[in-house]
Amino acid sequence: MGFKHWLTLGLLVTTEVTLCGASNTQYLQFMHKQGHRVALRGTEIGQISGPDVTLLGCGRLCVKHDCKLFHYSSVKKICAIFAEAYYAVRLSPDPEWDVGYTPASLVKYQQWTLVFRIQKEISVPVYTTWMDTGTSHDDPLPNNFPLACLRMFDYGSCDRHFRSHILDDWHGIDKVYLSVIKNDTEVAYIMFDGSGTDMQSWFNKAKVIDSTWFSGIKNDTSLFVPTNIKGRCGKHLCRRFLFYGPYDGCLTEWFYMMIVDRNVDFCRRWWDPISVPKAEPAIAYSPTSGRASFGKDRDVPLADYADAMAVYVTFA
């Protein structure tokens, strides 16, 4: 669901200013979507009802309580406000309700700021997007960017990757969190110490703080070095975000995670036919706490494929 059908709703709020005892009128804007309500994943932090409740009054209540999202029914005369941002909830069509939210400059989930999100099998290279300096989809979020591409659930209609301007201004980073998503659920993660890093160097075995595969990543002496975002990409294969075993032949390769970034891989002929991705990018990961492979006849479990991958940061 994109923003094409959102309208701008002007809301006038009067606030008292102590300077010289004067009052000041502040003009605030909300985006307004008619015929929808918050259906799932919203944490209600306030509600009012009664014959005098209006859409603008609901917006004022949201401002008063520093909320990010509200819905209002002109039929039921009910207003409810929510803690989550608009991209973090699921909306459903309902002709009796309207939804409003405050525009955002960054995509935030609690203390984590989203800096990169990729969608599987959309035929857009991941590494090219990561390195596309000057291109960003936030600060502020554009009105036509699909909500499905900002979420970690209900993302089936997503048709593009998300890139934050923070990638071009990587400083003051405390931690980095990489999340692998399948069927609306996080199935694997890696947390890194982001201090003293740049937009590429954080993805490093030495920087791992915690992970689904923590023991393997930290203690596996045969892990391919360097572990990096650029990975290995050439005429015969293209693999990014590599936590990968030593390459000594297609029949013995293994990994914790990787992204197959182009529809060419010399080793594909030895992969389990069921597990071969339909298109790229393919987000391959180990569904266990240890290694995985592309071949079901290997001595490690078969890899799985995720729907999306997200990278978040916190700041020092």
CATH of the domain at 83: 3.50.4.10
Distance CA 285, CA 118 (A): 14
- Is 198 in the same domain as 230? yes
pLDDT class for 103, splitting at 50, 70, 90? confident
Distance CA 97, CA 33 (A): 9
| Mean pLDDT in residue range 74-96 | 94
Assess if residue 266 is contained within a domain. Answer: yes
pLDDT class for 28, splitting at 50, 70, 90? low
- Is 315 in the same domain as 174? yes
Judge whether residue 2 has pLDDT over 50: no
Q: Which two tokens stand for residue 104?
A: 């955002």
Judge whether residue 177 has pLDDT over 90: yes
Last residue of a domain, one of 48, 74, 101: 101
CA distances from 95 to 79, 197, 294 (A): 15, 49, 48
Name the average pLDDT for the chain. Answer: 87
Question: Backbone dihedral region of 253: left (phi > 0), alpha (psi from -120 to 50 degrees) or beta?
Answer: beta
Last residue of a domain, one of 82, 101, 120: 101
- Amino acid 104: pLDDT: 84
- Is 47 in the same domain as 115? no
Question: For the chain, what percent of residues have pLDDT higher than 70?
Answer: 90
pLDDT class for 63, splitting at 50, 70, 90? confident
- Is 82 in the same domain as 110? no
Last residue of a domain, one of 51, 86, 101: 101
- Amino acid 33: pLDDT: 86
> Could you report how far apart the first and last alpha carbons of the chain are, in Å?
34
- Amino acid 64: pLDDT: 87
Given a contact cutoff of 8 angstroms between Cβ atoms, the answer to whether 268 and 248 are in contact is no
Q: Which two tokens stand for residue 280?
A: 């790229």
Peptide bond into 140 cis (omega under 30): yes
Assess if residue 279 is contained within a domain. Answer: yes
Given a contact cutoff of 8 angstroms between Cβ atoms, the answer to whether 78 and 66 are in contact is no
Distance CA 215, CA 243 (A): 13
As beta bridge partners, residue 46 has: 81
Assess if residue 280 is contained within a domain. Answer: yes
* Domain span including residue 215: 104-316
Assess if residue 2 is contained within a domain. Answer: no
E strands present in the chain: 7-16, 23-40, 44-49, 69-73, 78-82, 90-101, 108-109, 112-119, 162-163, 173-182, 185-193, 208-211, 232-233, 238-244, 255-260, 282-285, 304-306, 308-315
Q: How many CB atoms lie within 10 A of CB 79?
A: 25
- Is 112 in the same domain as 95? no
- Is 82 in the same domain as 182? no
- Amino acid 10: pLDDT: 45
* 103, burial (CB in 10 Å: exposed 0-12, middle 13-18, buried 19+): middle
Assess if residue 271 is contained within a domain. Answer: yes
* Radius of gyration from C-alpha coordinates of the chain: 23
Of 11-15, 36-40, 103-107, 125-129, the range with the lowest mean pLDDT is: 11-15
Give how many domains the chain has, as a whole number.
Answer: 2
